[in-house]
Structure 1
Amino acid sequence: MTLPDLAPDLAKDMQAIEIRIDGDNRYLAAGKVAMPEIATGEVLVRIHAAGVNRPDLMQVAGMYPPPPGASEIPGLELSGEIVATAPDVTQWKIGDRVCALVTGGGYAQYAAVPAAQCLAVPAGLSMTEAASLPETFFTVWHNVFDKAGLKQGETFLVHGGTSGIGTTAIQLARAFGARVITTAGTDEKCQACLDLGADIAINYKTQDFVEEVKTATSGKGADVILDMVAGDYVSRNFKAAAMEGRILIIAFLNGPKAETNFTPLLLKRLTLMGSTLRAQPVANKGAIAGKLRQQVWPLFENGTIKPVIYQTLPMNEAQAAHDILRGGAHVGKVVLEVP
């Protein structure tokens, strides 16, 4: 559907951050691109802020291309105001403040977004705070609760507790009654995890997380493990898991290959799962959005959970934002503010 028909006052182009390629060098640069056009079931959002996530870094490096038909512009989550809707969209109207999960296009002034993947900005949160939510909350809910079925009273281990995924997982697991154990790389980061509600935080550089988990659970192990590290953590997770434990691998910071002994997998009757969210159908993501709307968004409004933002930068400093994530000192999310 053409924008002149749906929103005649909008310009034909917009500012965006593009991936430029110069030989072997791949980098981010500001530029002007055509305004996106919305399809059936979509809304056009004037973006106020966009969250920065590690998959964005992988896309710039050429390791995580967008799915077919998705925007080449990086950015998997955003917040903003709806300025146009497709004729079949009835759940949203022009002027609504939303945050949304997208397959790309967040680092820009406008984005075409499936209406089903939008959520209202939680009461009391700013646009900047709201932009930090979709990617991690969709991911954690889908994996930890939908796929692994974490239950009240179970023990949950999440690696990388101060990452965007980690800070989200700690808060959600605690809010729904699980006992939370996490790993982080410094004592200061461990304290940040405890402040967010983790019951135990393990410094993986000075402690063996397998032994610490066993000690903390009287030898039982963790019922659910969320892993973004992989590599040698695969075999260690097998050892740290409880009988009939569920292990989810959603990234591989230590590399995509592992040599492991599968005996514990069999003897403990473990379930090992992998998952990505970006290329899943809109219907799947819309179903996750519905669960977040009903079960998680009220927790923002009553103060049970909160956004965790490490730093905000203007959109034209996207490269600096990526450098922050690459450096690994952050606790929580980095967000770009869009002009």
Structure 2
Amino acid sequence: MPTMRAVVVDTPGDPDQLTIRDIERPEPKPHEVRIRVQATALNRADTYQRRGHYPPPEGAPDTLGLEAAGTIDAVGTDVIDWAPGDRVCALLPGGGYAEYAVAHAGHVLPVPNGIDWIQAAAFPEVFLTAYQALHWLANLNEGETVLIHAGASGVGTAATQIARLHDAIVIATASAPKHDICREAGAQHTIDYENEDFAERVPAITEHGADVVIDFVGAPYFNRNIEVMATDGRLVQLATMGGSTVNDMSLRALMAKRIHMHASTLRSRSDAYKTRLVQVVRAVLDGYWEAGRIAPVIDSVMDWTRVAEAHRRMEANANAGKIVLQVEA
């Protein structure tokens, strides 16, 4: 039975529970490809799963890792669009923290010429999530104002770049030391959430309010998000890092502004949904990526043997952009 090295969590808990050891190497199903992983990237969901709070979907590997980049080394019997040797990155339901990972063939993207493995590994999750949020859920129009919370995060910086492709006005919230990262991604305005109230700053920036709000914080921001939104505004809730229960919510406030609210997680979406999303993102964003007009913001690159350190950095909110684990030098 062929084996491979992978990061495993034998007992849910703190980062010290992450270890690398041999497990069975996966074989691609008829609709899958197998990737020899060069690099993978951290996502907040990995830390939740490590603690036992975010179990993988049915049928997914129980090892961590929602994206990876590398070279295809085997394809399933039904796969016709990919071949061994193709340079790719992929959206995964799990299993990216390993020497080999299997991916649905429809969830794979080609790595453009000139893009290295580090950037490729950091691309799928954040740009697919950001594109879905802005275009499929919020229906962003050119020139609108977008408020992006956690603006220095991987998804936050990706959303900023996509919004700017459509001439949107971007307001990003982040701690003050991360404001340069937000501006480099394209945000015209930044708010220091530690020392400023965005409910006061946003009206000073735009009289009509934010047309779109992308939020990861949840309950502590909900009422203030509604307060600063424009009429017919769209709120997209992608996480609840600050809590999930909103106290004293006024439905009248939502109705008065005709607010549209969308809540979404990408991991639990159907294979067909993810395939359509990948197809659209390839058609729309591949040219921008290859030309260098968009790119994942990289916080740090670590050898995957330092995976516990990488998780600690993310949980301390010390990163700005993506933390990438290099699996093969």
Q: TM-score range by the shorter chain?
A: over 0.9
TM-score (norm 2): 0.96
Could you say if the C-alpha distance between residues 335 and 17 of structure 1 is closer, same or farther in structure 2, counting changes exceeding 3 Å?
same
Q: Distance in 1 between matches of 2:273 and 2:30?
A: 17
Match of 1:300 among 277, 289, 299: 289
Cα displacement (A) at 1:207: 1.5
Please give the residue correspondences for 1:257-268 in structure 2 after superposition, counting only pairs within 5 Å.
257-259=245-247, 260-268=249-257
Match of 2:262 among 257, 270, 273: 273
Cα displacement (A) at 1:243: 0.2
Q: Which moved more, 1:324-333 or 1:64-73?
A: 324-333
Q: Distance in 2 between matches of 1:22 and 1:290?
A: 35
Could you say if the C-alpha distance between residues 223 and 82 of structure 1 is closer, same or farther in structure 2, counting changes exceeding 3 Å?
same
Q: Which amino acid aligns with 2:123?
A: L
Deviations 1:196-235 (A, max 9, x none): 21010111122111121111112x1101100000111011
Please give the residue correspondences for 1:29-44 in structure 2 after superposition, counting only pairs within 5 Å.
29-44=19-34
Q: Distance in 2 between matches of 1:36 and 1:212?
A: 51
Could you say if the C-alpha distance between residues 253 and 23 of structure 1 is closer, same or farther in structure 2, counting changes exceeding 3 Å?
closer
Contact 1:20 1:26 survives alignment (8 Å): no
Q: Which amino acid aligns with 2:80?
A: T
Q: Distance in 2 between matches of 1:309 and 1:189?
A: 13
1:326 aligns to what?
Answer: 315
Percent identity at matched positions? Answer: 39
Deviations 1:48-89 (A, max 9, x none): 000101100000011111001100000000001001111211
SS in 2 for 1:232: helix
Cα displacement (A) at 1:285: 0.6
1:250 aligns to what?
Answer: 238
Please give the residue correspondences for 1:136-215 in structure 2 after superposition, counting only pairs within 5 Å.
136-186=126-176, 188-215=177-204
Deviations 1:119-153 (A, max 9, x none): 00122110111000111111111111111111111
TM-score (norm 1): 0.94
Which ranges of structure 2 fall in alignment gaps of 5 or more residues? Answer: none
Contact 2:13 2:50 survives alignment (8 Å): no
Give the aligned CA root-mean-square deviation in angstroms. 1.4
Match of 1:101 among 88, 91, 94: 91
Deviations 1:272-312 (A, max 9, x none): 11101101111111111111111111111222112211111
Which ranges of structure 1 fall in alignment gaps of 5 or more residues? Answer: 1-10
Q: Which amino acid aligns with 1:286?
A: T
Deviations 1:7-27 (A, max 9, x none): xxxx70000000121799972
Cα displacement (A) at 1:102: 0.3
Q: Distance in 1 between matches of 2:19 and 2:224?
A: 40
Q: Distance in 2 between matches of 1:175 and 1:139?
A: 16
**Structure 1 residue runs of 4+, over 3 Å off?**
22-26
Number of aligned positions between the proteins = 327
